[in-house]
């Protein structure tokens, strides 16, 4: 019974995260449509280990259980060749699942999963996933995630962030890191308090029923994403009124919230 309740809670969390991710895209799209500009990869910078430390410090006083009480995720995105995917997996010690074991050697040019694997590191899960792109079949979208549940450790987050970034540098890849934390707020105004602590200026706000999401820019973070019109954002905060648990869910993302918590169920 307890397992079913946990799975239901995780599915609910997944839905909230997907809604927040969609909200982030809507906010940026609407902002740029009104200005006649586009968001481009060239206008963004990934999070750094310094950003990880700052978000940990900022959320420590606003989450139930402190920063260790939240669910944390690091996500790294990069464009890679097949050989670079192989090298990254080798450096990180991640072996492919049997279903994708031979996919990297295919040269038929078909799009599809090239590689998928996962290992346990520092009490969390480090996973690598690559999808073939382009007609040549020699290029891939590479995604690496590190996920830590409750009782998270800052040392573990920093160790895995450094491991992935170092492996990317050795491979010659430019991997952009996105950082997310999700938990329960200890105050009804935790979102506002976080923005104040971060010395952040509001860029946009999105409301959808019980969910409120806002994008900010703070000079205290290295990460950034172009919002168009010469503006940048690098911190997204969101709260969701969970009517079932009677608690307020709090999510923070640098530079934006991603929806990858859907994997949790």
**pLDDT for the residue numbered 6:** 39
Count Cβ atoms below 10 Å from residue 160 Cβ, excluding itself: 23
Element (H, E) at 140: strand 139-148
In 3D space, the residue among 230, 229, 226, 236 whose CA is nearest the CA of residue 202 turns out to be 236
What's the pTM? 0.80
Pick the CATH number of 72-177 from 1.10.3120, 2.40.160, 3.30.310, 1.10.10: 3.30.310
Domain boundaries, given as residue ranges, for the chain: 1-62+185-265, 72-177
Render pLDDT for 105-115 as a digit per residue (tens, 0 to 9).
Answer: 554 444 567 77
- HSE, side-chain direction, 13 A CA sphere, residue 241: 9
| Residue owning tokens 């918590």 | 261
* Higher pLDDT, residue 246 or 262: 246
**pLDDT for the residue numbered 224:** 94
Alpha helices in 39-153 (DSSP H): 49-59, 82-92
**pLDDT for the residue numbered 104:** 55
148 in Cβ contact with 71 (< 8 Å)? yes
Q: Quickly count helices (H) and strands (E) in the chain.
A: 5, 11
Least confident of 49-53, 143-147, 208-212: 208-212
**pLDDT for the residue numbered 27:** 44
Q: Which structure tokens are listed for 226?
A: 């172009």
Largest CA distance in the chain: 55
- Tell me: pLDDT of 28 over 50: no
**pLDDT for the residue numbered 14:** 45
Report, in angstroms and rounded to the nearest whole number, the Rg of the chain calculated over CA atoms.
19
Q: Which percentage of the chain shows pLDDT scores above 70?
A: 73
* Higher pLDDT, residue 112 or 7: 112
- Tell me: pLDDT of 34 over 60: no
Q: Which structure tokens are listed for 51?
A: 């950003």
Q: With bands split at pLDDT 50, 70 and 90, how would you rate the model's confidence at 248?
A: very high
- Tell me: pLDDT of 35 over 80: no
Render pLDDT for 86-132 as a digit per residue (tens, 0 to 9).
Answer: 899 999 999 887 555 455 555 444 456 777 899 999 999 999 999 87
**pLDDT for the residue numbered 202:** 95
Q: Which structure tokens are listed for 205?
A: 């706000």
Q: Mean pLDDT over residues 141-145, rounded?
A: 94
113 in Cβ contact with 104 (< 8 Å)? no
Q: Which structure tokens are listed for 211?
A: 């969910």
Render pLDDT for 59-87 as a digit per residue (tens, 0 to 9).
Answer: 999 999 999 999 999 999 999 988 899 89
């Amino acid at each position: 019974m307890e397992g079913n309740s946990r799975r239901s809670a995780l599915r609910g969390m997944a839905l909230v995260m997907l809604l927040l991710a969609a909200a982030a895209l809507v906010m940026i799209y609407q902002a740029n449509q009104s200005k006649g500009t586009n968001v481009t990869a060239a206008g963004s910078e990934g999070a750094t280990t310094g950003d990880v430390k700052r978000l940990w410090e900022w959320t420590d006083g606003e989450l139930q259980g402190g920063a260790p009480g939240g669910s944390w995720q690091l996500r790294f995105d990069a464009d890679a060749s097949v050989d670079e995917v192989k090298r990254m997996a080798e450096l990180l010690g991640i072996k492919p699942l049997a279903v994708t074991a031979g996919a990297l050697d295919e040269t038929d040019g078909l799009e599809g999963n090239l590689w998928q694997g996962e290992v346990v590191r520092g009490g969390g899960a480090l996973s690598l996933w690559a999808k073939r792109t382009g007609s040549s079949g020699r290029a891939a979208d590479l995604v690496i995630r590190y996920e830590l549940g409750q009782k998270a450790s800052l040392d573990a987050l920093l160790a895995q962030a450094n491991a992935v970034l170092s492996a990317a540098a050795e491979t010659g890849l430019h991997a952009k890191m996105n950082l997310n934390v999700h938990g329960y707020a200890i105050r009804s105004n935790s979102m506002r308090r976080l923005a104040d602590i971060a010395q952040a200026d509001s860029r946009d706000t999105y409301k959808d029923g019980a969910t409120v999401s806002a994008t900010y820019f703070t000079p205290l973070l290295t990460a950034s994403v172009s919002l168009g019109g010469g503006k940048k954002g690098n911190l997204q905060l969101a709260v969701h009124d969970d009517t079932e648990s009677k608690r307020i869910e709090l999510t923070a993302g640098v530079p934006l919230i991603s929806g990858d918590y859907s994997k949790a169920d």
